[in-house]
A and B are shown apart, each in its own frame.
Chain A
Amino acid sequence: MKRVVIPGEMVSDQRKRLGGNVFVSNGKIYSKVLGISDESDEKASVIPLEGKYFPQAEDVVIGVVSRVVFAGYGVNINSFTESFIPKSAMREDLRIGDLVSSKISYVNELREAELGFPRKMFGGDVIEVTPVRTPRLIGKNGSMLELLKQGTGCDIVVGKNGRVWARNGNIDLLRKVVMFINDNSYKSNLTNSVEAFFKAEGIQINIAPKGEKKVAEESEVLDAGSEESEVLGGAESEELN
């Protein structure tokens, strides 16, 4: 049974394994955030509905250059602190407002994220969504992302930090579908509805199982170095469905 819980609301009074966004007090498990909890889960966890991005190593993120100093660039990744990219790490010079994709290589105890393999992103459009709801845009094994690519014909990079970058294809349609998914991220039957919608529009959808071959194909289409986001296991990023 899924329900919406608020901070301090009890999630379970049984002894369960602990997942993300919960805390224990007096032998009971409580939610730390406004989110969705499912009693039938064997792990006690809450999927947050709101909030900034919690950086994790290996996440692909899309940053915006917010500061330029002699030594490098301050980059906003929708988190609690700015990240810093030294000038030496970039092939080209960046300006305020430029987009950079990168894979987080390391997060220190102050939650500062070190951006590995930073690459400037050229052109395209960015759709901003609620950072904590981004996993829903990727879906189980990337199923939702694949659906979006086929349904709109866009090249898409989803940054785990709440930014969707897209180029070519039907960007307008993508924007609307992405906002719909964002607004309804906590509801069930989402992937099926989106798939049914595209099919009803007469768009060919062919969700193949994820394999090595597909990843290689997409890498050619996107900028060299920018990688497709993967869904991670683990407490912070659980998917529904």
Chain B
Amino acid sequence: MRQTILENDLSKVVELAKQGKRLDGRAFDEMRDFTIELGKCENAEGSARIMLGQTELIAGIKMGVDKPYPDSPDEGAISVGAELIPLAHSEYESGPPSFDEIEVARVVDRGIRESKSIDFAKLCIKEGEAVWVAFMDFYPMNADGNLFDAGAIAGLAAFMSAKVPKLNDKNKIIKHEYEGKLELKRMPLLTSFVKVGGKIMVDATYVEEKAAEARFSVSTTEDGYMAAMQKGMGGSFSVDEINYMIDKAFVIGAETRKKLLKQMKQ
């Protein structure tokens, strides 16, 4: 059923926030439950579908062979894209990439790339001539907030489960044959917060995002590193607030990592 945004709900979100509560009864540092389904898209070398609350999102990976960049002849690469398709929300329009679309793709990209979790040297096929490029694209099917974290979780699951195609002696991909997985060294995860009514809360729904003054995302790894940060929307954060969110992100990131691994084993 379609939901329209009522001022009642927006001001209610703010009011509830000031009282320490949220519309769906979650705690401020509580993420919605999520489920992950791997490998749905058989044409993809890796794929994952996440349902984070009512946000449904699909990430898929296509591996391609390409010439390396001249300044890194022995390194492969990843490339992350996103599309906010109108299917997912009546607010999204088809057309050239929107600012929101580009931002979410680039933040999810940085969260994975900068964590050095993928060994680009391992992606080298023939120095100076051929390297692997892993293209990850993600699409929301139903947008109910926090596409950042949903994209990061599904994207990570897709990378972790991606199979590397076999190559013939001309370095062309042999269909339906694979050797090994991408093998990530780390599991970086984004955790995103919004500030509503002066209070910080994690994993915002669409209504909470609409009521928010500012947004902050940080990518954390299991061995204690921060890999990427992004403050978004207008508004501002104090240093204390940023520190609070970073601390929380490590904790919540660890929980999410645990849940993700558990689901991926099944």
Contacts and interface: CB of A to CB of B under 8 A. Distances in A.
Contact of A126 (B1, B6, B11): B6
Contacts of B7: 64-65, 95-99
A130 B7 CA distance: 20
A66 B3 CA distance: 13
B184 interface: no
A64 B8 CA distance: 10
A111 B8 CA distance: 28
A125 B4 contact: no
A164 B39 CA distance: 42
Contacts of B1: 128-130
B6 A99 contact: yes
B91 to A, nearest CB: 12
Nearest to A165: B8
Contact of B6 (A97, A129, A130): A97
Interface residues of B, number: 10
B64 to A, nearest CB: 43
Contacts of A65: 7
Most interface-central of B1, B3, B8 (chain A CB within 10 A): B8
Nearest to A124: B8
B8 A76 contact: no
B23 to A, nearest CB: 11
Most interface-central of A76, A97, A129 (chain B CB within 10 A): A97
Interface in A51-68: 64-66
B10 interface: yes
B239 interface: no
B5 interface: yes
Nearest to A66: B4
Contacts of B9: 97
A126 B8 contact: yes
A128 B11 CA distance: 17
Interface string A66-85: 10000000001010000000
Contacts of A96: 7
A129 B1 CA distance: 8
Contact of B8 (A66, A125, A129): A125
A230 to B, nearest CB: 24
A128 to B, nearest CB: 6
Most interface-central of B4, B9, B11 (chain A CB within 10 A): B4
A5 to B, nearest CB: 21
Contact of B4 (A78, A95, A129, A130): A78
Interface string B1-42: 101111111110000000000000000000000000000000
Contacts of A78: 4
Contacts of A98: 7
Most interface-central of B6, B7, B11 (chain A CB within 10 A): B6
Interface string B232-250: 0000000000000000000
B259 to A, nearest CB: 29
Nearest to A97: B7
Nearest to B7: A97
A99 B3 contact: no
Interface string B219-239: 000000000000000000000
A128 B9 CA distance: 12
Contacts of B10: 97
B250 to A, nearest CB: 36
A98 B8 CA distance: 7
A99 B5 CA distance: 11
A76 B10 CA distance: 16
A99 B8 contact: yes
A126 B8 CA distance: 8
Contacts of B5: 64, 97
Nearest to B12: A125
Contacts of A126: 6, 8
Interface string A112-132: 000000000000111011100
B205 to A, nearest CB: 15
Interface of B: 1, 3-11
23 contacts: A64-B4, A64-B5, A64-B6, A64-B7, A65-B7, A66-B4, A76-B4, A78-B4, A95-B7, A97-B5, A97-B7, A97-B8, A97-B10, A97-B11, A98-B7, A99-B7, A99-B8, A124-B8, A125-B8, A126-B6, A126-B8, A129-B1, A130-B1
Interface of A: 64-66, 76, 78, 95-99, 124-126, 128-130
Given A95-B7, A129-B1, 13 more contacts: A64-B5, A64-B7, A76-B4, A78-B4, A97-B7, A97-B11, A99-B6, A99-B7, A99-B8, A126-B6, A126-B8, A128-B3, A130-B1
